[in-house]
Chain A
Amino acid sequence: METRAFCSQSNVVIVAGKGGVGKTTVAATLALTAARCGLRTLLVDVEGTGSLPALFGRAGRLDYVATTLEPPGSDHAEITGRAVTPDDALVEYLDDHGLRRVSKRMATTGTLELVATAIPGIKDILVLGKIKQLEQAGAGTDLIVVDAPAAGHAVSFLATARGMLDAIGVGPIRSQSADVLELITDPERCQVMLVTLPEETPVNEAVETAFLLEDRAGVKLTPVVVNGLVPTLELSADSATAARDAGVGLSGQAAVALDAAASFRRRRQELQAAQVSRLAAELPLPQLHLPLLWTTDPGRAELGSLADELAGGIARLPPAAHQPVRATGVTSARP
């Protein structure tokens, strides 16, 4: 599949996955990939704690006001970033509805917390409502990539709109929910990218989340991203012989160490291969693979290589749009 076509499938891509799977890195990688095909991309952090700026070699945190993460260049469009936290979204929402005075009071008296408790999910609706507003405004942005909340929260985050419509009879929050539901169930406007690791529990959770998201939230899923794959090496089990063949002298101690390291890598390669095929068997979604980069702190250089890998994976995808995970689901009419 062509990279630009892949990145233009919807206006919004929500990147979701369990904590620790590298969701933020994948969101940034997708943004860079899209920017490289000329799409002006906005990265949205919904928790306000993310490490997005560090991936672009920048210090600090994202703010409610959009800032540049990567200025436009000869071979890529601009990437901007902003945080959309529930509190900020609520204050803006109330301001927009002529309730500025109340918004201050709600914040200082703890009423916001009360309202959020009375209506669990209102925070999600406010955040998604703000994302919807950004999508509708469209100005200066071709693609919005959302770094979604961690853990099992992704399902409730996206299923909230439907629940809210049932719970609230009238009022602005109800119409906001209806708008959000329209956004997330329209595959031309919004899709969800699940991220997982080639390990047992993350794979289980990805499969579970995929079905729940389709059934309960009615969202369309992009191919699933398997992150942190150890690049496969053919490793000899006998380093002493291999060294001799290569004409290198090797101490006995060094040979033992090399053998242990090789055996460790082989074992991980086997385990991850098993998990990747299990994921393929249990979740009928195409996979995009991203390699482990042998560092715990990816920066701008690593992000560049990941974007290369992602583009390569996209190129290998079949051109036709993939099917929903449930054969009975609604298929997209996208060309």
Chain B
Amino acid sequence: MIVCAGPGGVGKTTTAAAIAVHAAVCGRRACVVTIDPARRLADALGLATLDNDPRPVDGPWPAGGGLWALMLDTKSTFDDLVRRYASGPAQAEAILANRFYRNISGALSGTQEYMAVEKLFELHETDRFDLVVVDTPPTRQALDFLDAPRRLVRFLDNRIFRLLMMPTRAGLRAAGLATQLFLRTVSRVVGGEVVREALAFFSAFEGLEEGFRDRTDRVEALLRSPATGFVLVASPRAGATGEAVYFLERLEEAGVEVAAVVENRVLPHFGVPEELTSGKDAATRDPGGFGALIANAADLGRLASSEEHHIAVLAGRAPGADLVRVPYLDDEVHDMEGLLDVGRHLFTDRAGRRRDQPEPTPDPGER
């Protein structure tokens, strides 16, 4: 099991797909769970629409190997969970039809993260695959997929609504009155209908929280077990490095070890001797021909050393993890050939040795 985490816009989805492709090429049954891939990458994986079942993907797989892909459908993953824990079809339908529920499954921050790990758990349970790689949504502020399951359970356990519904069950009038008053004020601001919908949701949801909480415990246990490897994907830019460091800290706090750090879109080092680019007069000597070549090498060198600084910062924060650089590729990765290429970069170190040998398994997430 591999979870690809990291800031937005650094190529997480592509990295997750490339890891799964590489595993398939090595003869394993691999499944990649993607979230919001760029259109052409989705096409390359045969993903036309959101889907809740892994679809086989054609490719140069040896006997025994194979690739499956699915584009996470947050809402129907959530619907499935509700159906699973509802006491019967009537309760399930009451919840699914509620407008407040539809907002939760579509818009509550953290739901997508939760459903991504939920899907990972579900695929793990089926035992159909040797390797499941999951992409995670871009993070925002203090929230990530590790928090998401807990947060959602907390949300579903909301105290104020519990209190509100208690009078009808246990006769706690006093608590009920204060809460009713509070709620009336809230209604005045946001409209009564909104509050009524929320109340209807929480009473329909009655009894399901336990199932959810239990499931959350098992999902969390899987995330922290040695069967799951975390790959932190980053890119050597100011914003991305800051977010990646934040991520490492959060993972550390949660007691999760990062198996590998992938730095994407790293500028190649061309090895132009420094004395050529450092001389002040070099570029002015012949602005038309040789000077332009030197100016170019100086530009690229400046950016590369700026990037190296970021890579060093991140590597320093994760001394135990494998550091993998994927170079800035000519074109965007949008076909199987491109994914195979990224896979080769991921599993080959700078000296040209393959990372996937001599170990029997190809993925950096497994020990």
Contact = CB atoms under 8 A, between A and B. Distances in A.
The contact size tier of chain B is 35 or more
Interface stretch (B63-71, B122-130, B191-199, B247-255): B191-199
Given A49-B141, A117-B103, A296-B306, A169 B191 contact: yes
B182 A105 contact: yes
A190 B84 CA distance: 48
A122 B291 CA distance: 57
Contact of B141 (A48, A51, A121, A247): A48
A310 B139 CA distance: 31
B138 A19 contact: yes
B10 interface: yes
Interface string A11-51: 00000001111001000000000000000000000011101
Contacts of A297: 238, 306
A234 interface: yes
Interface string B27-66: 0000000000011100000000000000000000000000
> Which of A111, A247, A253 has the most CB atoms of chain B within a 10 A radius of its CB?
A111
Contacts of B94: none
A254 B186 contact: no
Contact of B191 (A151, A173, A292): A173
B138 A151 contact: yes
Contact of B194 (A119, A264, A271): A119
Nearest to B181: A102
Interface residues of A, number: 71
B8 A150 contact: yes
B191 A261 contact: no
Contact of B285 (A24, A106, A248): A248
A152 B188 CA distance: 32
B9 A262 contact: no
A59 B186 CA distance: 39
Contact of A171 (B10, B158, B191): B191
B331 A271 contact: yes
A120 interface: yes
A262 B295 CA distance: 10
Contact of A242 (B8, B106, B272, B286): B286
Contacts of B271: 253, 257
A114 interface: yes
B330 interface: yes
A115 interface: yes
B221 interface: no
A294 B302 contact: yes
A119 B182 contact: no
A234 B302 CA distance: 19
Given A254-B276, A265-B300, A169 B268 contact: no
A48 B190 CA distance: 25
Contacts of B203: none
Contact of A97 (B103, B138, B189): B189
A320 B107 CA distance: 41
Contacts of A168: 190-191, 193-194
20 contacts: A102-B186, A106-B186, A109-B158, A172-B189, A173-B191, A234-B288, A236-B293, A239-B293, A242-B290, A246-B286, A253-B271, A257-B270, A258-B276, A258-B297, A261-B293, A265-B299, A265-B300, A294-B306, A295-B302, A296-B303
Interface of B: 7-10, 38-40, 100, 103-104, 106-108, 138, 140-141, 154-155, 158-161, 182, 185-186, 188-191, 193-195, 197-198, 235-240, 242, 268, 270-273, 276, 285-286, 288-297, 299-300, 302-303, 306-307, 309-310, 330-332, 334
Given A236-B293, A242-B290, 5 more contacts: A47-B140, A150-B8, A233-B295, A236-B290, A242-B293
